Chain A
Amino acid sequence: MNAPHQQPDDQWDLWEVFLQEGENEPHTHAGSIRAADAENALQNARDVFSRRGAVKNLWIVRSRDIVATVPGDTASFFEPGSDKVYRHPQFYRFTLADELWKKP
């Protein structure tokens, strides 16, 4: 039993679960589950993550199909975005418009 596992995993494939918890809300990662196939994964995700209700929709995807950045990417991928001030609303200033918006 403790031999290296050449066999497919006895505990089935790993899937990631994304829940949408309210109308018009994004799906967020809830955790992972084990399942043998897609329908099995949907049911298991439902039973593990919606025991207390409040789920609108759920997505499942095989963990091995997820592509992610690695820690070494952080500087080149994300930091350039943080100094582009013109992408943020605080960059823009005006005074007159404020008054106009308030009018009925």
Chain B
Amino acid sequence: MSENTAMLEEQFRRRIAGGETIEPNDWMPDKYRSQLKRLISQHAHSEIIGMLPEGNWITRAPSLRRKLALLAKVQDEAGHGHYLYSAAETLGISREEMFDQLHAGKAKYSSIFNYPTLSWADMGMIGWLVDGAAIINQTTMAKCSYGPYSRALLRICKEENFHKKQGMEVIAMLIASGPKGKAMVQESFDRFWWPTLMMFGPHDAESPNSPDMLKWKIKLKGNDELRQRFIDMTVEQAHAWGLTIPDPHLKFNEQTRSWETGEIDWKEFQAVINGNGPCNHERMEARRNAHDNGAWVRDAARAYEAKHRRNGGTTV
């Protein structure tokens, strides 16, 4: 490392420690840039892949109100993916490159979206659990040091307010409808509980990127702390609804005033992260198809623009 770089890094460290926001044109260490590219693009991919399990039920939504709410929610996810791709682009990586990485299987995205949606109750479960977990992550990350990411997350958090609520409304109404509705909710809860806990990532001790990211404020809390916050909040809600948590080891620790769970099946987590979850293939296939089948449309729009640019520009 040259003396100059060392000085810049020290300045950078001090700016972050002083609570300053880093903007796209500012000097930043290469590793800060590359970690952020990875982080933001993964988050963007998660939004886009995340459209699929819910999109799967839009055409089957059982009332007009539910259909409109679900479609609006999935559309928001496209919008959020969009904000995030834009934020990542400020770091000098194009959306095209990010798509290439995703379609080549080189990019990761949230493991939860590799699980199938098998019943209508899953639409409630995704809103309640998955969005609940995402909100905990995102509200924390909104205070991160990189301006464009922080601003995208603030906008996302504001818009996602209704996502969790619509999920909880789906569940509440199913439960209020009687034993059949409640059974549907419990069955769905049994499938989603553990995969949702995995969303927070490995234990801090096994999380290879954490120390740097904490230092640079592109991660603000440890995985375990955020997971615990989620567990404490959700166990209470599940109990209030009369749901059984599918964990025989779950117990309340009187000293810490916290709920302690059994161990997560990390082998399953690794399998899903490495492309071998129940729906990894289908999700990737759907994205590749959308991209490939859309190529002629994107070409046509570009060809039209080129023709009319020569003729004096397109008119609005």
A-side interface residues toward B, CB under 8 Å?
1-2, 5, 8-12, 14, 31-34, 36-40, 42, 48, 51-52, 68, 70-71
Contact in complex: A71, B25 (CB < 8 Å): yes
Q: What's the dominant secondary structure at chain B's contact region?
A: helix
Assembled-state Cα–Cα distance A29/B313 (Å):
24
Of chain B, the residue at the smallest CB distance from A49 is B79
Confirm or deny: B205 has a beta carbon within 8 angstroms of a beta carbon on chain A: no
Given contacts A12-B298, A38-B316, A70-B25, contact A51 B79 (CB under 8 A): yes
Interface 9-mer from B97-105, B115-123, B211-219: B97-105
Note all chain A residues with C-beta closer than 8 A to B25.
Answer: 68, 70-71
Note all chain A residues with C-beta closer than 8 A to B302.
Answer: 8, 12, 36
**Chain B interface residue bracket vs A:** 20 to 34
Confirm or deny: B295 has a beta carbon within 8 angstroms of a beta carbon on chain A: yes
CB < 8 Å: which of B26, B83, B86, B308 contacts A71? B26
Assembled-state Cα–Cα distance A64/B152 (Å):
21
B-side interface residues toward A, CB under 8 Å?
25-27, 75-76, 79, 82-83, 86, 89, 94-97, 99-100, 103-104, 152, 159, 295, 298, 301-302, 304-305, 308, 313-316
CB distance from B166 to the nearest CB of A (A): 15
28 pairs, A vs B, C-beta closer than 8 Å: A1-B100, A1-B103, A1-B104, A9-B94, A9-B96, A10-B96, A10-B298, A11-B95, A11-B96, A11-B99, A12-B301, A14-B89, A33-B82, A36-B302, A37-B304, A37-B305, A38-B315, A38-B316, A39-B314, A40-B301, A40-B305, A48-B79, A48-B82, A51-B75, A51-B76, A68-B25, A71-B26, A71-B27
Note all chain B residues with C-beta closer than 8 A to A42.
Answer: 316
Of chain B, the residue at the smallest CB distance from A69 is B25
Contact in complex: B100, A2 (CB < 8 Å): yes
Assembled-state Cα–Cα distance A87/B4 (Å):
38
Assembled-state Cα–Cα distance A34/B76 (Å):
17
Assembled-state Cα–Cα distance A36/B96 (Å):
14
